[in-house]
Every structure is written in structure tokens, then in C-alpha cells.
Structure 1
Amino acid sequence: MQSNPFNNLPKINKIDAINILRRPISEVKLLADYYKAVFHLANFPCEESEVALLDFIKHDCEKLEYKIAKRKAIEVLANFGCKKAIQTIAEFLENDDDYLVETVIWSLAKLKCNDIDIINKICSKLYKQFNNKRVVIQTLTHLGVRKEIDMIRSLSRDKQTSNGVKGASFAALIKLAGEEDKLTDLKKFLRLSNQNDRHCAVQDIINAGHLSVLPDLIKAPLSPSFKLQAIDSLWINEVVLCENINLLNCIDSVVFDDPRNIDTLEVNNFNKDLSFLIEQLFHTDFNRCYHSIKELLKFPLDKVLYYLNNNWDRAKSDYGAIYFFINVYKLLLDQQLYDDLLLDKVGFLLSNNWPDYMKFKSSAIQILGCLNENKFYNNMIYFSDESHTPYWKNRYTALLVLQNKQINIKNKFAKLFLNDSHRFVRFKAKEIST
């Protein structure tokens, strides 16, 4: 789940959204209203919404705001599974807006287009100057189109090809041609210096469809969100053990997210100064953050706690930094080092001030379970209620904390989760309660 600034705008109902989309440009005060209308219409999948979106994308306008709204409308139609939109959407494959073409190609994959003429037009992008051949290869992989395997293999070997295109090519060769030796190449891509390339590698591993890469993936210096997405996508069997890999052990490892178990990459010019290391926790590259925590743990821990507390007010307005700060607090707590303000910090992070999907909520639940068992138990009804705790990772985390408690207590509370909508939460609840 991703944040979107339009989530903070007043809600628009279906009728108002449709009326905005039907309004001529001359009558629209702000062109951004089109995007806003499309965004909110995504919440109302129905025939009427589909017709309004289809009518909207048929019009042309060179204004950037209109183009962005059109791309979003095509994406929404694809997410609706609107098969009747395929032909209309495909008409934009030759558009001069590459971003629109990318959205079109992605949407045709999402809609599982099987029209041979349209597929041939998609294939032709591999032979032209096109900025995003990665999305073309991903689409052909998703649709099971094997006719361009030779071209894809050529791209995978071309020294001028970007890592993103190479990774997608490896995934295609694995999935479409059974070339499992390319799994080694994909594993290597998890250790590329550029974080975006590592992110792309996760999607390529998902597309390749091989569970065997999971042990390497969960140790990679990446956000746990990407890892959980991969586990959820790759684990198609309703069993806990598959290919000698234990599903729950994999999830547990990602949820705990102990930096000492992450295979971090070396970073050039990396200071070993305490102030520098704390500053690195604000970095957007997870590798630098994990690497910093490993170095921080080499210092006297009371000094680390002091520096964390001194920078907390700055960190708490940066949700990325919060995640790593709270994880260091968690590691210090494991060594029985904390102060009275830690519980206040946990309360702040678990409050309704933050959406449930924020990464740090899971760590805050873990700290609460160690720091104040009574508060933790009192919150179990809240943690097990999907209307209050919609992100499955947080419900799973509550169970993970519960697992180490007294047997009569953990059995009692685990039963609250046995009918959870997410299979991983149900698996964990069953493991604890039996």
C-alpha cells in the first residue's frame, strides 16, 4: 500500500467524480481536478465508472495535467479488469507520450490481452527507440509470449543495456525459456550498488517465479516491504514448508529485521563517527542505514542511546528515519538498555496519527510486547481486529510477539486470529495455538 496526497483531500463521491470527467476543459477551474476525479473513481468499480473513464480517455489534450489524468484513468480501468477497454487502450500504443505508452503496455498485461495484433505492436517496441523496454519485457513475460525470446536474450547480453532491462530479461528467460541458470544473475542483482536496481531485482524475482531465491532475498539490504511482497507473491502453496524453505521462518526474519542478519554492501568514505552514523539513519538507501546500525552497535550502547534521544525530535517527522531509530531502540532494549521515554515513543508510533501500513508500526508492537506486557495484552483485541489493524504485517507481528509468552496466554489470544483474512496470519495463529 502506498501513500498518496489525494488521500488527504475531501472525498469525492462517484456521481461528482463522473460529472467532473464529463466536464469540458473550458469549464474546469483546475485541470488537476481531472486526476482527482479519476483517483477517487477508483473506489467505485462498476459499469458506470468504466463508461465514464473510457469516454474520458478518448479525448485528446496537450496539457500535462490532462495527460497525467489520462494515464491514471487507463491504470484504473486495468485494475477494474475492464476487458472491453482493451481495444481503446491499445490505440495509444503509437502515442508520442512515452509515459502514456508505458501505462498502456502495463495495463494490457494487467488485462491479460490475448489479441495477437496488439501483442505484435507491443513486441515491436523491442526493436525501436523506446525508453522503457523493461515494461515491454515484463508484459511479454506476464502474457507468456515466447516469440521474442531471442531478442530478449540479446538484450540480456548487451553491455549497453540497463540493469533494469537485463533483470527483466533474466526473469523472462527463466519463466518463458526455462533457463534456470539465470537465477544466479538475478541473485547478484540483489547486491547492486544502486537501490532502485535492487528494487527492480525483487520484481524480477517475483516474475521469474522461483521460491529458491527467498533465502538470498531476505538477507538483501532492502526495505522489508519489498521482501514481504515477494514472499506473498511467490508463496502460492497453502503449506508452511516448500522446497526446504520454511515460510514462517522467512516472514519472522523479515519482521524482526535484525541488521546483523542483513548482507550489507560496503560503502565508500563511510565515517565511523557516532554523529555521522546517526545521520545515516536519515538516508533513503536502506543499505547505508543497515550498515550504520551495525557500526553503531560497536560503540558503548549508552552513548548510542544518548545520540538517538538527542535526534529523536528531528527523526519523528521523517517516517523513514523513524523506522531505523525505533529499530535501534529495539536492539538496545534487547540489551536491557532503555529509558522511561521509550514507551511514550511507542505510544506515539502506534497512535492514529500514522497510517497502519507504516513500516515502523511493526517494530513499535515488538517493543511494546517486551516493555509492557499488560499494555500489549490489553491491545490484542485491537491488534486482531482488521478494521483497526488493516495491514496484515502488524497483525502477524502481534502473533510473533505472543509466540514467546506463556503457553496459556498465547493460546488464548492466538485464537483471535484463526479466521484472519490473510493466510500468513492464519498460518501463524495456527502454529501458536496448536
Structure 2
Amino acid sequence: MDRRFANIFGLTEEQAISLLKTSSDRLEDRCDRYVGASHLANFPTERSIRALIETLRDPNPATYHRIARRKAVESLGRLKAAEALPAIRACLVDEDCYTVENAVWSLGEIGTEDETIHEEIARLLARPGQNYRSIIRVLSKFNYKNALERVERLTESEDETVASAAISAIARLAGDYSGMNRVVELLSHANVNVRRACVQDLIDARYYDAIPHIARCPVSIVFRLRGIRSLANAGIGEGSITFAQIEPDLDRVVRDRPGDLNMVHEYDRTPSLEFAIGELYQTDFGRCYLASQTLLDVYPDRAAAASIETFEEKAHHDYGAHYHVIKLLGWLGGGDAYDFFVQQGLHNKAPQFQKSRAAAAIALGELGDRRAVPLLQECLSTPIFHLKYACLMALEQLGDTLGPEMAAGDEDRLIRLKARARA
């Protein structure tokens, strides 16, 4: 599990428990009980688990207590606290739909072979207002085939994220993959949340034919890499696919050129330079990629200066835009690009900017300056997959042969295979 953001609140276990044991009306910030419940996910101790269970059983109906209960349920799932199963199971009949949703998720994380619990979860598919997508995914995870007919009815749901999950579950529970093309088609949906959900459903169904389509889906590289890595590791592990088959798609995702994506948005007229730069700050990466391609095609002589100017104003606060600007400058080059990529990207250790480090590695490969070789080799010791893979690609572009030798024994299967393919 990625723990880079784990200690974001900076609390001790004792402090977090103390917050949970304090009524919200006695706290300086009423959200502090939520903070305490969230932070205890970092402490797999009997004390923390007991405090979280006590929070579940807190009958106080006040809003901030209810919110803390929701988070306590989730934290117990993150801790995989099997001793909390009875308390979490009791939450399945809670009046608060979000508490129920978190209880379903946590039961899926902890795991149980008790089919009476599986059936209680399945009955929630008939409860109005619930998150059916979450319920379907957990039933599929439990391989609860008695829910198959109820899940099948939701393959025609108006909510595409629910329909996608249901189709994936049918594939997993019944071995029927006939509907999976519908899920692949949803990778081109205009709504970014649908596209992200579909990637997860393709992972759940282990639908290896989707790998090239995921590589071209205009969502954040985080989602695409998660999808391809999960499917590649599963498929290679069971002998269904080879690294050589998926390497071009993995390279395409890590390089992340907008021209390699299937765009889902379009402009009705050529946008101004200012508008296109502003689109790099969108939360829907589909819009960011369209803007990047437009800047490369329409404003290649002005885009670098304009993006740097905006970068200095606000991109250092926006990790998505930070990533897109570094990528854009990697293709445009010029000026003090080398120092910029090293200082703003490759050496940026802030956890929210890790995508930018990989983007900088690719940019340094594009730049062709061999001063980057030892810096890229040094980054091969990082635990971050995206960065290591990008460094191997950049080192290959720079003509280095030592990097692949250094990574040939890496603990990550895909990094090992990439290194050995280039050694």
C-alpha cells in the first residue's frame, strides 16, 4: 500500500483516540472527531481498533458524530480488523446510506466467508439510495453467485458506473465476457468519473484485451497505470499474456503524449492561447490533454513562455497542472529547460508531485543532455514504479546501458522485465 500521505494530520495515536473520545460540541473544530477516526487507520493496535469500534456504537445523532462513524467504519476496513466484523455488520442496517456504503466496502477489505453476511449485502441492491456500484463490486469480490440474477438486472442501469460494475461482475461470477465490449466503449464516455470507474471494472474482470484501450483512455496516468499494471501482473502471472505484448502500451502510457490518446472532448473553434493554458488546470484530464495537444499544434512558439509564466503564478500549488506543464515543456524544450526539469521535477520529493518527477525524467530523455544520466540512474532506487519506468525509458533514449543492468533485479516484476528487455 502507498503510505506517502499516511501521516498527513501529524497526530500521535494517543491524540487521535483523544479526539474520538471527545464530544464534537467540546472540540474547537467539530471535524476533529473525523480527523481522529481517519488517522487511526495508521495504527493497527488493539487500542485503536477498540476506539474505532466504540465510535461505531456511538448513538449520538449529531451530524459530526455521524460523519466520524462513517470514517471509523472505513478505517477499520483499512486496518483489516477482523475483530470488528460484528460491529461493521451491524452498520449494514444503519439509516445513513454513507455509513452503509463504508460498511460494505470495509467488509470487502476484511473479507469473510460467512454467506449470511454476503446475503445481507446483496439485499442492499433493493434498498433505494444506496451506492449499488460499491455493493456489486464487493459481492463480486466475495464470489457470491447467489446475487447473480440481482446483479444482472443492473447491467441496464441508467447510471453507467453501476452498469459497468454489473457487467464486470457477470464476467467474474459467471465467466460470461460477452458484455465487456460495452465497458471498453465507456472508456470514451464524456464523464471522467465513468471513464475512471470503467478502468477499475476492467481490472476486476481481468479483461486483458482492454489493455490497449486503457492506454488510450484520457484519464489521469494514475488510473491508466493502475489498470495496465494490475492486468499485466495478473496476466503474466497466469501465463495469459507476455511482457512483450504489453510493453508498447505501457511505454505509451508512461510517455503520455496527448496525441496517443482517444480524445473525448473537442473545441468548436480554435481556443486562444490563454484559454488553452487555463485548461491545463482542469480536474478532468481529458480537457488537459486536449489543451496540451492544441498548444503543441497551434502555439508551439508561444506556449513555453506562456505556460512558464502561469506556472510561476499558480502551478506550484496544482499538482495536475504542474505535471502537464513539465510534460509540455519537455516537448517544446528551449531556454533553461535542463535545470527546470531537474529542480522542479526530478528532485521534487513532495508526495503530491510524484507524477511530475516521472514527467521530468521523460523530458530529460527528450532533451538529450547526457548530464541527466547519473541523476536518472540514481532514481532507479526509488520505490515509485512510474518514476523508475520513466527513468529506464529516458536512459535508453540517452544511450545508457548501465541503468537497465541496475534495475534487472528490481523487486517489481514489470520493472525487471523492462530492464532485462533493454539490457
Report whether the alignment pairs 1:420 with 2:420: no
Shift of the 363–31 alpha-carbon distance from structure 1 to 2, 3 Å rule, reads: same
Shift of 1:413: 2.9
| 2:67 match | 68
Paired letter, 2:387: N
Alignment of 1:293-308 (within 5 A): 293-299=292-298, 301-308=300-307
| 1:108 match | 107
Shift of the 283–60 alpha-carbon distance from structure 1 to 2, 3 Å rule, reads: same
Distance of 1:356 and 1:282 partners within structure 2: 15
Alignment of 1:166-181 (within 5 A): 166-181=163-178
| Deviation sequence 1:267-324 (CA, Å, 0-9, x none) | 3535343333222222222222222222333225223334333433233332222222
Shift of the 2–162 alpha-carbon distance from structure 1 to 2, 3 Å rule, reads: farther
Structure (1 or 2) with the greater helix fraction: 2
Distance of 2:238 and 2:136 partners within structure 1: 32
Shift of the 204–219 alpha-carbon distance from structure 1 to 2, 3 Å rule, reads: same
Paired letter, 1:354: A
| 1:396 match | 389
Paired letter, 1:107: S
| 2:205 match | 208
Report whether the alignment pairs 1:385 with 2:367: no
Shift of 1:237: 4.4
Paired letter, 2:331: L
Distance of 1:365 and 1:91 partners within structure 2: 50
Moved more, 263-272 or 20-29: 20-29
Q: Give unmatched runs, 5+ long, in structure 2.
A: none
Shift of 1:94: 1.0
Say if 1:241 and 1:247, in contact at 8 Å, map to a contact too.
no
Say if 2:24 and 2:64, in contact at 8 Å, map to a contact too.
no
Alignment of 1:3-82 (within 5 A): 7-9=7-9, 11-23=10-22, 28-82=27-81
| 1:164 match | 161
Paired letter, 1:293: S
Shift of 1:382: 3.5
TM-score by length of 1: 0.87
| 2:359 match | 363
Distance of 2:260 and 2:175 partners within structure 1: 32
Distance of 1:14 and 1:311 partners within structure 2: 41
The alignment partner of 1:181 has SS state of: coil
Shift of 1:28: 4.7
| 1:220 match | 217
| 1:291 match | 290
Distance of 1:306 and 1:25 partners within structure 2: 50
Distance of 1:322 and 1:346 partners within structure 2: 14
The alignment partner of 2:178 has SS state of: helix
Paired letter, 1:425: I
Say if 1:368 and 1:375, in contact at 8 Å, map to a contact too.
no
Shift of the 94–17 alpha-carbon distance from structure 1 to 2, 3 Å rule, reads: same
Distance of 1:175 and 1:270 partners within structure 2: 44
Report whether the alignment pairs 1:261 with 2:256: no
| 1:321 match | 321
Alignment of 1:91-170 (within 5 A): 91-158=90-157, 161-170=158-167
Say if 1:240 and 1:427, in contact at 8 Å, map to a contact too.
no
Say if 2:331 and 2:366, in contact at 8 Å, map to a contact too.
no
Shift of 1:342: 5.5
| 2:275 match | 276
| 2:226 match | 229
Report whether the alignment pairs 1:87 with 2:73: no
Report whether the alignment pairs 1:189 with 2:190: no
Paired letter, 1:355: P
Say if 1:153 and 1:173, in contact at 8 Å, map to a contact too.
yes
Say if 1:125 and 1:136, in contact at 8 Å, map to a contact too.
yes
Distance of 2:185 and 2:47 partners within structure 1: 47
Distance of 1:153 and 1:18 partners within structure 2: 43
Shift of the 26–196 alpha-carbon distance from structure 1 to 2, 3 Å rule, reads: closer
Shift of 1:163: 0.9
TM-score by length of 2: 0.89
Distance of 2:13 and 2:420 partners within structure 1: 41
| Deviation sequence 1:209-240 (CA, Å, 0-9, x none) | 11111111111111110011112222214569
Say if 2:376 and 2:395, in contact at 8 Å, map to a contact too.
no
Distance of 1:356 and 1:422 partners within structure 2: 22
Distance of 1:420 and 1:39 partners within structure 2: 33
Shift of 1:180: 1.1
Q: Give unmatched runs, 5+ long, in structure 1.
A: none
The alignment partner of 2:411 has SS state of: coil
| 2:332 match | 332
Shift of the 8–176 alpha-carbon distance from structure 1 to 2, 3 Å rule, reads: closer
Paired letter, 1:348: Q
Count of residue pairs brought into register by the alignment: 419
Shift of 1:206: 1.3
Paired letter, 2:50: V
Shift of the 96–397 alpha-carbon distance from structure 1 to 2, 3 Å rule, reads: same
The alignment partner of 2:266 has SS state of: coil
Identity in percent: 26
| Deviation sequence 1:176-231 (CA, Å, 0-9, x none) | 12221111100111011111111111111111111111111111111110011112
Shift of the 289–23 alpha-carbon distance from structure 1 to 2, 3 Å rule, reads: closer
Moved more, 272-281 or 92-101: 272-281
The alignment partner of 1:12 has SS state of: coil
Shift of 1:83: 1.6
Distance of 1:56 and 1:300 partners within structure 2: 56
